[in-house]
Structure 1
Amino acid sequence: MIKPQDMKHAFVRAYVVLEKYISPAALAAIGIAFILLIELFVPPYIGMADNGDFYRILYSNGLYFDLPDYDSQRLGYFVRTYGIFQYYNENNAMLWSSQTVFVRLSLWISQVLGYNERFDIRIQASLYSLLYIGAVYLLVKAATWRASRRMGYGIAAAAVFVFGDIAYVMYFNSFYSESIMLITLMYLFSAAMLLYQRQYNDYVLLFLFGASALILTTCKQQNAPIGLIIGLVAILFVFLRRERIFRLFASLQAVILILTAIGTYVLIPEEFVNINKYHAMTRGVLMTADNSEEALAFFGIDEQFSVLRGATYYDFLSPIPVDSEEMEKQFLDKYDFVSIARYYLSHPDSAGKIFETAARNAFYNRTKLGNYEKSAGKPFGTLTHAFAGYSYLKEKLVPKTSGFVVIWMVTIAGLYSPSFYRAVKARSLRRALRLPVILMMAASGLCAMAVAVIGAGDADLSKHEFLFVVVFDLVTFWVIADCLCRRLWGANVEQGDSHE
């Protein structure tokens, strides 16, 4: 029989070995790797069902739906395998996205491994998993800076609990761009904070920040305004060092990020613009207006279109065909996203309703899309509950109001303002960098929320607000880590500022 004293000694020895050989960052990476292995690569495999968007990225990249009953599995079942075009592929890209790079790289790996006729999405999940493990490692490396070993292990465990949640990792077994957004946001934020802390080579971190920002901006068209925010903050990096080559590199990067954000917006295909415009009116303006006819009059639209209140672009039966000339000339051409924003500004009641709707959906980590393959024998649309503890707690405990979002923002700005003020007074840009980076993240999250509701109403909000979900978790995790490590108000960078 094992005595309690023997168990205690065993735990002590294990902790000594852990402390000696495994850092908190490495422990977090191992924990995330374990969860990814269990959920994505061990039966029953967990992924996400197609909501109808997969075709946008599949056909142009050499893949196609090869299951006879694929349509019946949409929304409810995760599909793991897809056909690979063997000869000429006549499909052109419907939109350019950095996601294409990852899909084609995964397809190339599949063919190198000898899988030339069918593509198993777990190959893509493997690629994302490796990138994600690295991202979590860097995040925890930055979050445990100057923390005690014991505190560092606690922060690492918290990182695994939050970022190993199934609501995040299930995206890797899908063709949604949210998986790329998650990975690049984490790399971008970690790189910026490691620059602030001066833990690694500045040039390497600057490149990592820029590359992540470029991929994030171009993976989804609605991220264009976010890319602009990131590009403007990137200008601060120009003044981190005095070397001409560094400043040239940082300046060029900031310009490229800003131009990429503008180009991403300009190049949005007209079809997707019309879909979002349609939902912005039918699922946004008309649903929040007390009088639909008066709301349409604001845009100079005939009141007969009020019958579209609550309609979606994909409805099987529509009072007015969505692709008709009448719809285009008398409805869609009458407004744009600027005029919709102007409407909300002049109608605070409607604005309040739409943003309350956004806030209610902003803290849900899960979607209602099924997570299991049909062969697993689960009912249509079944969601997994494994490794979903953080999603459950967040759903139950976090207030889902726009007021809470405002309080969250103000609180964060207030917590970091004293150290920012001292850094500016000391003329140390590197020490002042932390607050702008955190505000960049928070502003990106709010921008994602605003773009979602102004640009598409309440259509598919749980996915459209995904970027806000990630930003909220990253920033909140960082603030708690700073508090636990007593870094919140301390001047933690004694060396390395703009006078290098």
Structure 2
Amino acid sequence: MIIVLAGLGLALYLLFGSPFVGVADNGDFLRMMNTIGLNYYNAAESYADRFFSFSHSRFAYDTLFKGFYPSSQIFLVLLPRLIGGLFHGSYFDIRLLAAVYISLLLAATWLLVRTNARGSYVTGLLLGGSLLFIFYDIGYLAYFNSLFGEPVSMVFMLLTFALGLRLTGQERPTVKGLILFFISVLFLTSSKIQNAPIGIAFALIFLRFAALKGQGSWKKVSLWFSAAIFLISVLLYATAPKDLKHINLYQTVFFGILNQSPDVRGDLKQLGLPDRLEVLAGTNFFQGNTVIKQNDPSLQPDFYARISHKDVLFFYIKNPDRLIDNMKYAAANGMSIRPYYLGNYEIGEGNPKVALSYTYSTWSQFKNKHIPHSLGFLSIFYLLYFTGILFQYFRSKNIRERVTGELLMLVGLIGIFSFLVPILGDGRADIGKHLFMFNVSFDMMVVVMFGWIVHKLVGLKNR
């Protein structure tokens, strides 16, 4: 409870104090705004003030579902939006949404500490302290005062594994607990299109859960949930907006594969694309000075109709050196929790454009400045993590301990997946921000390793 109260105080101080701290819009807000009925509060503000430079605490109310962006974030934003409309109809205060995220983060924190302290006050205190130090960093919390989808991924990633570890820690886990776990997995999987394949991995976890000795119709429900999350994941990816798929394909090919390519024409030939598209090499979908405009009708038959992410995958399989080059680029940009090009403060508070808050930013700054930004370091880190997990896994004597190990392995696998997906799905475009889930997974792995060391030391002391 001490850790939860400390987390609450920290979150309230950082997000509800003065000056207001959020994350500036890079253009992504519109997808959610059009869905849940919000608009920009100041209709007359300039482009420079609206995007990138300053955050916004107020949004105007607008018509619901003028557009639709499929995401579990809708449910989280819609609730405070409707409540805000009832009690404060002149504008929507984004801090109402932050309150929802804070509640979920506190719940995850409480569950993780309670489940993994194993009756040790010292272990609980140190584990809780590590969670507060890492996941309550302003680099993470500033996202709560925004309409980005990142906080949904973060809080449900933590909550999912908190609930999962709680189930494997029980002698006879309950169906009610399994339902809560499924709901959390569902929110995580459907928070962003790029998270959809994660659900397939969780479908396997549900199959493993079926082997546990739970109460009631545990096995039957586990199998149903396994099938359900698998189908939902496939549907989410298959029904992704066509425009979004086009943007991602453009970025993947022209700002990924062909960006700084030693042989642009050779790459185009491998991909089955015409040579005339070589003028787009190194361009991104949103720049305005391209020789061929991104919405040029000729791109439909010459590009979009000819290529898919499957072709991109096969290209990298045939050219692993090119994949490694992009992995090195991702590693060089992969230790930033926050987007440093998006301002944190509101306009009119005396701060320059793109000013950032560094209050309680020790962890995010340490990662950004001192942890090696290299593929070699990440390889060693992952090797150590999986070696430790597998060592414990093969020493496990019962199914519950083994499934616990598989859950912890999944944390690392989600990190690997989240590292590769931006490369395969969006090229080098805004790669630092697109590696957010990789950072969440990395930081969870740090906490797991720290918690394991603390548990062993406390165990030695108590002998």
- Look up the SS of the partner of 2:196 in the other structure: helix
Moved over 3 A (4+): 199-202, 487-490
2:320 aligns with: 348
- Look up the SS of the partner of 2:298 in the other structure: helix
2:434 aligns with: 464
Aligned with residue 165 of structure 1, among 126, 133, 137: 137
Cα offset, 1:90, TM superposition: 6.9
Change (3 A) 1:283 1:488: farther
Alignment of 1:101-112 (within 5 A): 101-112=75-86
- Look up the SS of the partner of 1:64 in the other structure: strand
Q: Distance in 1 between matches of 2:247 and 2:233?
A: 21
Amino acid at match of 2:18: P
**Could you tell me whether the CA contact under 8 Å between 1:146 and 1:485 is conserved in 2?**
no
Cα offset, 1:307, TM superposition: 1.5
2:378 aligns with: 405
Aligned with residue 38 of structure 1, among 13, 27, 30: 13
Cα offset, 1:408, TM superposition: 2.3
Q: Distance in 2 between matches of 1:61 and 1:138?
A: 30
Aligned with residue 454 of structure 1, among 418, 421, 424: 424
Change (3 A) 1:75 1:351: same
Aligned with residue 239 of structure 1, among 204, 211, 228: 211
Cα offset, 1:318, TM superposition: 2.0
Change (3 A) 1:250 1:70: farther
1:483 aligns with: 453
- Look up the SS of the partner of 2:25 in the other structure: coil
The reply on whether 1:81 has 2:58 as its aligned counterpart is: yes
**Could you tell me whether the CA contact under 8 Å between 2:186 and 2:229 is conserved in 1?**
yes
Aligned with residue 343 of structure 2, among 344, 348, 370: 370
Q: Distance in 1 between matches of 2:383 and 2:218?
A: 34
Aligned with residue 72 of structure 2, among 79, 83, 98: 98
Pairs aligned (count): 457
Q: Distance in 2 between matches of 1:357 and 1:225?
A: 23
Alignment of 1:170-209 (within 5 A): 170-198=142-170, 202-209=174-181
The TM-score normalised by the length of structure 1 is 0.87
Amino acid at match of 1:40: L
Q: Distance in 1 between matches of 2:10 and 2:433?
A: 22
Q: Distance in 1 between matches of 2:282 and 2:459?
A: 49
Q: Is the radius of gyration larger for structure 1 or structure 2?
A: 1
Q: Distance in 2 between matches of 1:117 and 1:242?
A: 50
The reply on whether 1:132 has 2:105 as its aligned counterpart is: yes
Q: Which moved more, 1:479-488 or 1:266-275?
A: 479-488
Structure 2, unmatched stretches of 5+, are none
Q: Over aligned residues, Cα RMSD in angstroms?
A: 2.0
Change (3 A) 1:198 1:69: same
Q: Which moved more, 1:380-389 or 1:243-252?
A: 243-252
How far does the alpha carbon of each residue in 1:245-297 deviate from its partner, in whole angstroms, 9 at most, with x for none?
Answer: 11111111111111111111101011000000000011110015211111111
2:25 aligns with: 50
Change (3 A) 1:323 1:27: same
Cα offset, 1:244, TM superposition: 5.6
Aligned with residue 289 of structure 2, among 317, 327, 330: 317
Amino acid at match of 1:84: Y
1:22 aligns with: none
Cα offset, 1:89, TM superposition: 5.1
1:17 aligns with: none
Q: Distance in 2 between matches of 1:488 and 1:314?
A: 54
Cα offset, 1:151, TM superposition: 3.8
Alignment of 1:213-224 (within 5 A): 213-224=185-196
- The percentage of aligned residue pairs carrying the same residue is 25
Amino acid at match of 2:32: I
- Look up the SS of the partner of 2:18 in the other structure: coil
Amino acid at match of 1:47: G
Cα offset, 1:199, TM superposition: 8.3
Q: Distance in 2 between matches of 1:487 and 1:433?
A: 24
Change (3 A) 1:243 1:136: closer
1:496 aligns with: none
Q: Distance in 2 between matches of 1:42 and 1:200?
A: 44
Q: Distance in 2 between matches of 1:60 and 1:142?
A: 37
Q: Distance in 1 between matches of 2:256 and 2:276?
A: 17
The TM-score normalised by the length of structure 2 is 0.94
